[in-house]
């Protein structure tokens, strides 16, 4: 099947129409994510990100539906309750940002989307609201760093460490746009850091989880094999996390393969984030343990990693302070 943006948009529209016909509870359906850009594919694979807003509490929060090996639906279900206070949405880095960043609305009852988006987007890019989206991410990252001191080695510790890095990076990203999502996190951060005059915050973030020496081709082969086995095992669990649904395996693997040579840190980011989630869901951790040693994320190197993370968080906090001063907040 030849995948084009037009083909993907037609699938999105047809899906929205089908879902709307099937349920009177649906107020709105809109499209976000990479399909709203001119480059939806990464590694020849993509998903179609739909948000469905219900008049009552939805029965599920998220569902993944396989369409082909290269295309899946990733559907988030929200209650309209989350949208009732536009002022709150203006400072929400996730729901607010993706509502304000020109999503494509596919179904709208009684102009619900039109009214809600207009209310949320009003003053959305005012500096006071921008900093209120970025600051909580930086503060949460700092609190996470404080909590990691003295924590014994475990997959949960690594997962928390990666979450802190993600929050810190998105605090930077939110000063000039919406937060960055998993597959494109390391691809989008350099432009965001440069936009605020802090280009070093992109490379500095990658240094927090990459090894001091580049991985050899043989090491990459071993990592990819063990990681692929972990993803397959996670997808076979009785109740796998939605993010590790079988339909999303190629979504991650092909993206990482496409990034591995030119931007290895971006490939490692995808690998580590999904592998830790798989282990916490019940997949054996042996392969991840040896990977942590290869990447210098084990106990022998963790104190140094925490010190580097401390310095990085200082840089993020300084960047936020500069933004406040520059904009007279």
Residue 2 has pLDDT above 90, yes or no: no
**pLDDT bracket for residue 192 (50, 70, 90):** very high
- pLDDT higher than 90, residue 27: yes
115 and 33 share one domain: yes
Question: Is the separation of the CB atoms in 235 and 244 below 8 Å?
Answer: yes
Averaged pLDDT, 305-313: 98
Among 36, 54, 51, smallest CA distance to 109 is for 54
Q: Domain check: are 236 and 285 in the same one?
A: yes
Helix axes 249-259, 264-281, angle to 10 degrees: 150
Q: pLDDT grade, residue 102 (50/70/90)?
A: confident
Instruction: Report which of 222, 215, 202 is spatially closest to residue 264, judged by C-alpha positions.
Output: 215
Six-digit token string for 146: 């404080």
Last residue of a domain, one of 96, 121, 146: 121
137 shares its domain with 85: no
CA–CA gap between residue 77 and residue 136 (Å, rounded)? 24
**Tokens linked to 180:** 């960055």
pLDDT, tens digit (0-9, with 9 covering 90-100), for 236-261 = 999 999 999 999 999 999 999 999 99
Domain end point (choices 83, 104, 121): 121
User: Residue 288 above 90 pLDDT?
Assistant: yes
Q: How confident is the model at residue 36 (pLDDT cuts 50, 70, 90)?
A: very high
Do residue 111 and residue 23 come from a single domain?
Answer: yes
pLDDT band for 87, please (50, 70, 90 cuts): confident
Rounded to two decimals, what is the model's pTM?
0.96
Strands 71-79 and 46-54 turn out to be parallel
For position 275, what pLDDT does the model report?
98
221 and 319 together in one domain: no
Lowest-confidence region among 9-13, 149-153, 190-194, 218-222 = 149-153
Residue 143 to residues 30, 115, 137, 314, Cα–Cα distance (Å): 34, 37, 10, 13
Q: What pLDDT is attached to residue 235?
A: 97
Percentages (nearest 5) of helix, strand, coil residues in the chain: 60, 10, 30
- Total domains in the chain come to 3
Q: Is residue 302 within 8 Å of 257, Cβ to Cβ?
A: no
Are 244 and 234 in contact by the 8 Å Cβ rule? The answer is yes
Find how far residue 215's CA is from the centre of its chain.
25
The whole domain housing 70 covers 5-121
38 and 74 both lie in a single domain:
yes
- Looking at the fold, whether 23 and 111 belong to one and the same domain comes out as yes
Confidence of residue 149 (pLDDT cuts 50, 70, 90): confident
Q: Which CB contacts under 8 angstroms, 24+ apart, belong to 55-61?
A: 55/25, 55/26, 55/27, 55/79, 55/80, 56/25, 57/81, 58/25
One domain for residues 83 and 111:
yes
Q: With left for phi above 0 and alpha for psi between -120 and 50, is residue 140 left, alpha or beta?
A: alpha
Q: Specify the residue for token string 């990034």.
A: 259
Among 102, 121, 140, the domain-final residue is: 121
94 and 148 in one domain?
A: no
Residues 107 and 35 in one domain: yes
Shared-domain flag, residues 28 and 15: yes
* Structure-token match 């906090």, residue found: 317
Same domain for 110 and 16: yes
* Separation CA 212–CA 193 (nearest Å): 22
Identify the CATH number of the domain in which residue 26 sits.
3.30.460.10
Query: First vs last Cα of the chain: how many Å apart?
Result: 52
Residue 112 pLDDT > 80, yes or no?
yes
């Amino acid at each position: 099947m030849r995948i084009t943006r037009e083909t993907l948009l037609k699938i999105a529209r047809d899906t929205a129409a089908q879902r709307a016909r099937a349920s009177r509870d649906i107020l709105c359906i809109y499209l976000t994510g990479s399909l709203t850009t001119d480059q939806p594919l990464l590694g020849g694979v993509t998903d179609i990100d739909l948000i469905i807003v219900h008049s009552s509490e939805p029965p599920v929060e998220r569902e993944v539906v396989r369409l082909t090996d290269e295309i899946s639906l990733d559907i988030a279900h929200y209650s309209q309750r989350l949208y009732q206070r536009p002022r709150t949405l203006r400072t929400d880095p996730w729901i607010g940002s993706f509502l304000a960043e020109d999503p494509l609305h596919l179904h709208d009852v009684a102009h619900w989307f039109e009214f809600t988006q207009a209310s949320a987007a009003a003053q959305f890019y005012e500096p006071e609201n921008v900093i209120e989206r970025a600051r909580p991410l930086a503060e949460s990252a700092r609190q996470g760093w404080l909590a990691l001191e003295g924590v014994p080695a475990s997959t949960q510790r690594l997962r928390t460490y990666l979450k802190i890095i993600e929050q810190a990076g998105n605090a930077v990203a939110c000063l000039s746009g919406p937060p960055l999502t998993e597959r494109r996190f390391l691809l989008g951060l350099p432009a965001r850091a440069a936009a605020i005059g802090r280009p070093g915050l992109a490379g500095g973030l990658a240094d927090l989880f990459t090894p001091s020496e580049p991985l050899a081709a043989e090491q990459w082969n071993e990592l990819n094999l063990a990681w692929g086995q972990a993803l397959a095992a996670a997808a076979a669990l009785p109740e796998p996390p939605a993010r590790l649904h079988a339909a999303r395996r190629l979504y991650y693997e092909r993206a990482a393969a496409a990034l591995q040579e030119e931007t290895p840190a971006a490939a490692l980011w995808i690998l580590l984030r999904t592998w830790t989630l798989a282990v916490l869901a019940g997949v054996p951790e042996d392969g991840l343990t040896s990977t942590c040693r290869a990447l210098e994320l084990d106990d022998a190197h963790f104190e140094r990693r925490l010190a580097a993370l401390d310095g990085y968080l200082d840089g993020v906090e300084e960047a936020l302070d500069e933004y406040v001063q520059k904009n007279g907040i």
